[in-house]
């Protein structure tokens, strides 16, 4: 058990097909006290998540859930207060919340750009700022931000320029946190996924998906569990000397 009794907040976890849920599932398996968070979190969703994990692990598990819109700074502060009140501390934040649009650059409206940045970049910023207040008081803590291949290769296989720009901001934010808070024992790392089997890929036609998979060295799309494995490494002491790093989970799609 790599996260025994660690309090881990996983944001972006309301869909059973999401990366966030894959992280929740693996972290619970490794003994963490997990708080699953999402804009769309509710009692029914939380119950479904718990049932799915218990069926797989063949044992009963504890799972906490909270609703939060990360684009609202007050909501992020409230989330952190609620978690600390319920669990006494926060050991790790995994931020996997995000939205995607594939609109081409000249067609992106002000409103669409604003929403993309509001959720993906400012949301990550608010969340990190809120949790860092608790981490500074604790003199410990660990952040894992889910960015994207789009931030590295100049646009996504799915997302447009606004998505890529928002995810590039998440990389810069993560590296800055690592540099600014490292002396307190606080770590921050990013993961850049590509082509992980979640609702985010639902918009791709079978032909387009085929073409993309043909160009992936491993010749397949990835699973949420494979992405969760990288999060587990970064959240655990296995990666104790790793901070400011970016881990690619992309089947070799982008090798640099
Ligand atoms: N699936 C991929 O191949 C892929 C590739 C690159 C990056 N990513 C990134 O991985 C992360 C997870 O995506 P996913 O593939 O699991 O898709 P997903 O749509 O299943 O998960 C995203 C979750 O974020 C939640 N969310 C959206 N806005 C929110 C808000 N304002 N506050 C709180 N929660 C909010 C959604 O409700 C959803 O449950 C995203 O940041 C995405 O950009 C995914």
Going from the C-alpha of 214 to that of each of 192, 210, 245, the distances in angstroms are 20, 6, 28
Within-domain flag for 255: no
Cβ-proximal residues to 17 (8 Å cutoff; 6+ apart), any chain? 197, 198, 199, 224
CA of 219 to the centre of ligand 1 (A): 23
CB 163 within 8 A of CB 116: yes
Residue 1 lies in a domain: no
Q: 197: domain CATH number? A: 3.40.50.720
Q: Is the CB of 14 under 6 A from ligand 1?
A: yes
Domain with 72 in it: 7-249
- In this structure, what are the phi and psi dihedrals at residue 43, rounded to the nearest 5 degrees? -60, -40
Confidence of residue 203 (pLDDT cuts 50, 70, 90): confident
Q: What's this model's pTM, rounded to 2 decimal places?
A: 0.98
29 lines ligand 1 (CB under 6 A): no
163 is catalytic: yes
Q: Does residue 195 sit within a domain?
A: yes
Specify if 219 maps to a domain: yes
Atom of ligand 1 nearest to the CA of 40: 37
Q: Model confidence over 39-76: pLDDT tens digits?
A: 999 999 999 999 999 999 999 999 999 999 999 999 99
Residue in 163, 177, 216, 221 annotated catalytic: 163
Phi and psi of 11, rounded to 5°?
-105, 135
Summarised one tens digit per residue, pLDDT across range 163-201 is 999 999 999 999 999 999 999 999 999 999 999 999 999
Chain centroid, CA 20 distance in Å: 6
Nearest ligand 1 atom, CA 13: 39
Domain count, the chain: 1
Residue 84 domain-assigned? yes
CA of 183 to the centre of ligand 1 (A): 31
Does some domain include residue 209?
A: yes
Tell me, yes or no, whether 2 lies in a domain: no
DSSP code per residue over 99-137: ------GGG--HHHHHHHIIIIIIHHHHHHHHHHHHHHH
Residue 36 lies in a domain: yes
């Amino acid at each position: 058990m790599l996260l025994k009794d660690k309090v881990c907040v996983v944001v972006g976890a309301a869909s059973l097909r999401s990366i966030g849920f894959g992280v929740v599932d693996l972290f619970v398996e490794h003994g963490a006290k997990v708080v699953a968070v999402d804009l769309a979190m509710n009692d029914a969703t939380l119950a479904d998540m718990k049932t799915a994990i218990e069926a797989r692990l063949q044992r009963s598990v504890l799972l906490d859930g909270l609703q939060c819109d990360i684009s609202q700074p007050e909501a992020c502060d409230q989330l952190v207060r609620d978690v600390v009140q319920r669990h006494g501390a926060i050991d790790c934040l995994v931020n996997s919340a995000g939205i995607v649009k594939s609109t081409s650059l000249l067609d992106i409206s002000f409103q669409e750009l604003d929403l993309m940045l509001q959720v993906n970049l400012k949301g990550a910023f608010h969340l990190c700022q809120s949790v860092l207040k608790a981490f500074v008081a604790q003199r410990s803590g660990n952040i894992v931000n889910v960015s994207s291949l789009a931030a590295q290769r100049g646009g996504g296989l799915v997302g447009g320029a606004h998505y890529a720009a928002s995810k590039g901001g998440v990389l810069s934010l993560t590296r800055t946190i690592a540099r600014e808070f490292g002396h307190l024992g606080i770590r921050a790392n990013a993961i850049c996924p590509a082509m992980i089997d979640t609702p985010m890929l639902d918009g791709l036609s079978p032909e387009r998906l085929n073409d993309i998979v043909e160009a992936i060295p491993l010749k397949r799309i990835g699973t949420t569990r494979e992405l969760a494995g990288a999060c587990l490494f970064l959240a655990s002491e296995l990666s104790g000397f790793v901070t400011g790093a970016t881990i690619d989970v992309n089947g070799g799609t982008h090798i640099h």
